[in-house]
Structure 1
Amino acid sequence: MSTTRTVSRGETTRVAAATLEAEPQHLTRRLKVVLAVLLVAQFMLAVDFSILNVALPAIGDGLGFSLSNLQWIATAFALSAAGFTLFFGRIGDLMGRKRVFLGGLAVLGLSSLIGGLATTPEVLIAARIAQGLATAAVTPAGLSLLTTAFPEGPLRQKALGLNGALMSAGFTTGAILGGILTDLLSWRWAFFINVPVAVAVLLIAPAVIKDSRPERRPKMDLPGALSVTLGLLGIVYGLTQAGEHGFAHPAALMGLLVGAVLLVVFWFVERRVEEPLVPLRILKRPSVTWGNILGLLAFVTETSLVYLLTLYMQKTLNFSALTAGISFGVLGLGTVVGGMLAPRVIAKYSTLTALVAGGLIQTAFTAVLLLLGPESASMWLLLPATFFGGIGNMLVIVGFMVTATSGLPDSEQGLATGLATMSQQIGITMGTPVMSAVVTAATSGAVTAGAILHGVTVAIGVNAALVLLGVLIATVFLRNRKQPAHS
């Protein structure tokens, strides 16, 4: 009996050693190419979230959008990008992530070309919907290809750190690039710029990216897919309407109410269906649940801070849109530094350390912005604060990505990354309307420079409190998780 146990343990040790040896312990040439291809695609998607913000007035003038319909250029994209992310993430698990990734990129390139050539509002909106659907497909598929290409541990942490840094930098770059392209060329180039990038990735990716799919294709959970997709569409629609008209507006209330009801329906569907879209056992994992909540807060706070500071620079300091956009280059630099620093912090200490330390840094430097004044000299305060705040935010984002995708088999990485991407998309969508409502309430409708400064300051205080809430959540709910420095 004793001998049998000894042999079994020896065999187990040899198998574990062989597995460890088979896994790459450093970035091989092929892995570097895979990483570059996936990061370029994710960076392009991040740029798309913000590149049209500055260009909206020019698009409206060029295509004859009414002022009330102009917001649909952003809303159409946000609805499809956030609403279908979880659905396409699971489709990638079932049908092959490489296929979904490449198909989504092809749609993104084609829809960007159509958007750049659009001559009517209807064609442009259709192109934006297609861009959003492509983003919903490519983002989780690309992220799951990344997490399955790199073994759990330092290599994956490094890859996720670079991915997070470039995604956050891409969001900032989009604001800068949109202003430059619109001022120097035309708003159409904000669409056209995607086309050569998509073509380049489509030419290289098939040869270097390996696909992964389950041996047996499960049944598609149509009731779950419909209820969660329509529920997310309702939530995102409600949030975008709240950003335009306030949370008391009937469209905002109806969208949020219908969305919430459908998400409750989704929960009950998943409890009863034989092969659920999202197995509830995964949602019961603290790392998945609380990790995604932290990711949601991270994207809510940083993207809404960009909105608040844009409002401050343009309405209080009277900066041009281009000058305000270029000022966020410092924030983008901070996120790149944070993305490079995060894997080292996780490897040397733990994921929890990155989450807590990053949150505290972001809280502190967001709170510093409460001291902003009505003079342009405040930029000497704003620029370093956004740089260090960006470092802290990226520590949290990478920590969230590692937390929410760790400990799950490759067969469920599409689902895990779909959930993480959904948290990201909703966070980006939710931040601006929430903070816009805070500013509106604080200013009581006044639009003077002083009133807007007051409203922005109140919203910055709320923003800092939300970041601190994330720190408390991580400390309370994730402190008992074993988080080894090396997997």
Structure 2
Amino acid sequence: MTTDTTAPPRISGRQRLILFVLLGAGFMLAVDFSILNVALPWVGAGVGLGPTGLPWITSAYALPAAGLTLLFGRLADLFGRRRLFLSGVVLLTGASLLGGFASNPEMLLTARVLQGLATAMATPAALSLLTSTFVEGAMRDRVLGLNGALLSGGFTVGALVGGTLVSLLSWRAAFFINVPVAVVILLLTPYLISESSVPDRVKLDLPGAVTVTGGLLAVIYAVVERNIPAAVVGVLLLAAFWVVELRSSAPLAPVRILKRPTVKWGNYAGLVVFTMETAMIFLMTLYLQRVLGFSPLITGLIFGVPGLAAVGAGVIAGRFIGRFGSREVLAAGLSVQALATLPLVFLGTGRVALAVLIPALFVGFFGHVTAIVAYTVTGTSGLANEEQGLATGLTSMTQQVAITVGIPILSSVAATQSVELTGIHLALSVNVAVTLVSVVLVWFGLRPRGERSTAAAAVPVPREAEEELAGSLD
């Protein structure tokens, strides 16, 4: 009797509970992010924060969430992933309570900073617990597909129910909704998830941690506030980080990992995926409300229905990757995202434009979610278990940075035109062009090694090198 070894791996009951906890945490953070964005005017009015201060409710969260994710991803490898994940959830609970009871701008912004810090701690730790629980291959691809689907679904659900929740209850509900979910996660995690192994001798690369964190914070601040001196400081600090990592005996982010094609090009693709789609949604929100005159509720429905439908892409993306490969699926997802944005460049001022916009959103969101899964699989593959915290820290950082900088960058492009609709068209054109060029770069950057060496095959090889290569092959 023969055994069928081709059957797809099955997820055990315990693994399902682990998925419930870890994916539930990510879903909670995504829902919370969307709900609070919808509730910004109510939140500002509730604590006496004027219109000019509203952007800082978002920025106070985004700066630590984006700037510290890489550091905490590596700390999870060094000091324990479960420990860092639980610490992040505890901090998120306290920060949410502080925000919900905030009575002045100072309390509110402090709560937002702490929420961003908690996100930077919990997100890469949760993702690395996922990738280390499920071995690389078909099962991990399926799990990361579910993660991408719930991430997209969380943003969509938050946008759909945010206005209703805040209207029926209070803006404070946008903060308090985290607390019961976080308590359940804190109760279940110690019984379901064991602590990851940590090195016997832990040595933190302090110069690397300081330079990369300072550099990321400065660059993100520069983009958000359009501050050139901060950009210069950020670039110099990131350059110093690279030099430090080359010389460090225990680097925070080993250069050999950062140079890996899967890590480098996977994260570049993720940056494009989130930057361009986040900006597109913002520009289309302006279009729907300022050009077509729709209410925020109708705008949320126009985005929400295609968004929920596209969640299915996350479920099947893992199977696509298993059949066709992550490189092919990543390029295809990016291409679909770009080509679905192209018709939006030609939208006019009549509401008949919805006949083009809504189908384009359906198709574009499907490609977007597929690309999210593919870039996460690409960026975390081929690495040892003890390096998964760093890998997931990089992919999480990429997401947070992209979400933060996408809107300011393409808003600046749109602002170069005096007519708002013309500016939206120009910014969307840049969106499509950048994404399509990136498809080409990612496709060739992720070429298998055999393809990489084809062009070099015709180049004469010195006899000494040829003999050395033959000896190594033997």
> Normalization by structure 2: what TM-score?
0.91
Deviations 1:104-143 (A, max 9, x none): 0011111111101100100000000000000000000000
In structure 2, the partner of 1:230 is: 214
Per-residue deviation, 1:463: 1.2
| 1:435 is the counterpart of 2:419 | no
Residue 296 (1) aligns with residue 271 (2): yes
8 Å contact from structure 1 (residues 94, 217) kept in 2? no
**Counterparts in 2 of 1:224 and 1:181: CA distance versus 1, 3 Å:** same
Indicate the SS of the match to 2:36. coil
The 8 Å contact of residues 279 and 407 in structure 2, kept in 1 or not, is answered as: yes
Who is 2:162 aligned against?
Answer: 178
Instruction: Select between 223-232 and 377-386 the one with higher mean Cα deviation.
Output: 377-386
Q: 1:56 aligns with which of 33, 37, 40?
A: 40
- Distance (Å, rounded) in 2 between the aligned partners of 1:480 and 1:149: 27
1:454 equivalenced with 2:457 (yes/no):
no
Q: Which amino acid in 2 is paired with 1:466?
A: V
- Deviation, 1:303, is 1.1
Q: Using the alignment, how far apart are the partners of 1:395 and 1:334 within structure 2?
A: 13
Counterpart for residue 131 of structure 2: 147
Identify the residue that residue 329 of structure 2 maps to in structure 1.
354
Structure 1 residues 471 and 96: CA distance shift in structure 2, 3 A = same
2:306 — aligned with what? 331
2:287 to 312, 315, 318: 312
Q: In the alignment, residue 443 of structure 2 is paired with which amino acid?
A: T
* 1:274 and 2:274 matched: no
Partner of 2:352: 377
Which residue of structure 1 aligns with residue 460 of structure 2? none
Describe the superposition over 1:276-319 as per-residue Cα deviations: whole angstroms up to 9, x where unpaired: 10011101111101111001100101111111111111111111
Please name the residue that 2:31 is paired with. 47
Alpha-carbon distance in structure 2 between the residues aligned to 1:474 and 1:200: 40
Contact 1:333 1:387 in 2 (8 A): no
Q: Which moves more between the two structures, 40-49 or 132-141? A: 40-49
Residue of structure 1 in register with 2:379 after alignment: 404
Aligned to 2:339: 364
- 1:20-43 Cα shifts (integer Å, max 9, x gaps): x9xx93101011111111111011
Q: Is the 8 A contact 2:156 2:308 kept in 1?
A: no
Distance 1:77 1:321 in 2: 23
- Would you say 1:102 and 2:86 are equivalent positions? yes
- When structure 1 is superposed on structure 2, of 406-415 and 336-345 the one drifting more is 336-345
Contact (CA 8 Å) 1:330, 1:383: kept in 2 or not?
no
1:63-78 counterparts in 2 under 5 A?
Answer: 63-78=47-62
Unpaired runs of 5+ residues, structure 1, are 1-20, 243-251, 445-450
Instruction: Return the alpha-carbon distance in structure 2 between the equivalents of residues 455 and 195 of structure 1.
Output: 41
1-structure distance, mates of 2:378, 2:306: 24
Which of 86, 100, 103 is the aligned partner of 2:70?
86
Counterparts of 2:352 and 2:100 in 1: how far apart (Å)?
Answer: 39
Contact 1:172 1:331 (8 Å CA) reproduced: no
CA-CA distance at 1:481 after TM superposition = 5.1
Q: CA RMSD in A?
A: 1.6
Q: Aligned residues, how many?
A: 445
1:152-301 equivalence runs, <5 A = 152-242=136-226, 252-301=227-276
Q: 1:198 to 1:383 in 2, by over 3 A?
A: same
How do residues 388-427 of structure 1 correspond to structure 2 at under 5 angstroms?
388-427=363-402
CA distance in 2, matches of 1:240, 1:178: 24
1:470 equivalenced with 2:445 (yes/no): no
Distance 1:307 1:481, change over 3 A: farther
> 1:218–1:275: 8 Å Cα contact kept in structure 2?
no
SS of equivalent to 1:474: helix
1:396-448 residue CA offsets vs partner (Å, 9 max, x unmatched): 11111111100101100000000111111111111100111011112x3xxxx
Q: Which residue identity does 1:211 align to in structure 2?
A: E
Cα displacement (A) at 1:466:
2.0
Structure-1 separation of matches of 2:40 and 2:449: 45
Q: CA deviation at 1:254?
A: 1.8
TM superposition shift of 1:174: 2.4
Provide structure 2 residue ranges, at least 5 long, that are not aligned to the other structure. Answer: 452-474
- Alignment check: 8 A CA contact 1:334 1:388 kept: no
Bigger mean CA deviation after superposition, 359-368 or 403-412: 359-368
1:126 and 2:110 aligned: yes
User: Which residue pairs with 1:136 in the alignment?
Assistant: 120
Task: State the partner residue of 1:245.
Answer: none
Quote the offset at 1:47 in angstroms. Answer: 2.2
Q: Does the 8 Å CA contact 2:159/2:304 hold for their aligned counterparts?
A: no
Of 326-335 and 304-313, more deviation after overlay is shown by 326-335
- Residues in 1 aligned to 2:128 and 2:27: alpha-carbon distance in whole angstroms: 15
In 2, the alpha carbon distance for the partners of 1:218 and 1:291 equals 29
Opposite residue 421 of structure 1, the aligned amino acid is: S
Structure 1 residues 307-316 or 131-140, which shifts more?
Answer: 307-316
The CA deviation at 1:172 is 2.5
TM-superposed deviation, 1:334: 4.0
Q: Matched residues in 2 for 1:272 and 1:99: separation? A: 30
Give, in whole Å, the separation in 2 of the partners of 1:482 and 1:386: 38
